Structure 1
Amino acid sequence: MAGARQEAEPSTADREIVISRVVDAPPELVFEAFTQVRHLSRWWGPEGFSTTTRSFEFREGGAWDFVMHGPDGTDYQEWITWTEIAAPERIALLHGESRDDPNAFESVLTFAPDGAATRIEMRTVFPTRELRDEAVEKYRAIEGGRQTLSHLAAYVVEIVAKRGEG
């Protein structure tokens, strides 16, 4: 029905996390910062985390194999497979601890113009409500996601300043 507000499907609403942020840069630059490993490794992760990339191939079916290093010294093995790429508007991915992780979750990132800025939305759907709840409670996924997008925003503003675009 034209104009009707689209609701989240009941089958995923209790399994998802949605985080968004406005980034003060054009969508093409925000997309670039999210899709090139030389950028990703500079801003990816929540406060106090760093990232070591083992391999990276940004294409549909390609993967990013990396380790996130927590502030307490814990290493987290991570694996992202890119399932859809529509530059510079959308990226879909599957994120788990390894290529065949049965608990991997799906994320869709959208990059939409918002005046001269970009509204990035990260919609993550977990296989079960329990896995979503565990991510929220044990791993602070909502706060971590907000911090990660905050790092992205700060990093992109640095790029704009260095390029003399802002």
Structure 2
Amino acid sequence: MSIPEEAKNRTLTIERTFKAPLALVWQAWTQPEHIAHWWGPKGMETEVIEHNFHVGGRWKYSMQMPDGSKFITEGVYSEIIEFEKIVTSADFKPMTEGVELHILFEENGNTTNFTFNVLHATEEYCKQQEKMGFYNGWGSVFDRLDSYVTTSK
């Protein structure tokens, strides 16, 4: 899925290839017992509070930072195509609110091509989030996911 032209200037994208089969990467994204192992940047503990993986279903996770403070991440699923795409609203309070995640999966032999698009309400908000460390933060999360799926094979 490509991002609509009008949204390109307010979208941040990360692409990765995970050295794990699509079914395993999909499970890591969709099953709470897996999510708790990799969601969040390195050094954070994640508790899955709510996870209703269906269109209209809510998800809510609590992430504890190394200093003991917590913040909540939550959203509502608006589109799910099994083994292909997940679309959800997302709030990462208090740092990021009102974004939409488009998470795309593509089987590539024994690996999985992965595209993570975050759509922001405005171009200015998108630029602000990028400056706050979007690529480093999510890059760390996806490093953890890669490690988790690689060792879970």
* TM-score of the aligned structures, taking structure 2 as reference length: 0.89
2:130 corresponds to 1:136: yes
| TM-score where L is the length of structure 1 | 0.82
Q: Is the Cα contact below 8 Å between 1:103 and 1:131 reproduced in 2?
A: no
Q: Which runs of 5 or more residues in structure 1 are unaligned?
A: 1-5, 161-166
- 1:163 — aligned with what? none
Q: Which residue of 2 aligns with 1:164?
A: none
The partner residue of 2:115 within 112, 121, 134 is 121
Aligned residue pairs: how many?
A: 151
Runs of 4+ in 1 over 4 A off after TM superposition: 6-10
RMSD: 2.0
Structure 1, 31-40 or 57-66: larger mean CA deviation = 57-66
CA offset digits 1:78-133 (Å, max 9, x no partner): 112111111111111110147xxx94111111111123200111011011122222
Aligned CA distance change for structure 1 residues 43 and 18 (closer, same or farther; 3 Å): same
Instruction: Tell me which protein shows more strand as a share of its residues.
Output: 2
Q: 1:155 matched to which residue of 2? A: 148
Gap runs ≥5 in structure 2: none
Give the C-alpha shift of residue 10 in structure 1.
Answer: 4.2
Structure 2 distance, partners of 1:125, 1:34, is: 19
Rounded Cα–Cα distance in structure 1 between residues aligned with 2:85 and 2:5 = 23
Identity %: 26
Match of 1:145 among 138, 142, 153: 138
- For the pair shown, the structure with the greater C-alpha radius of gyration is 1
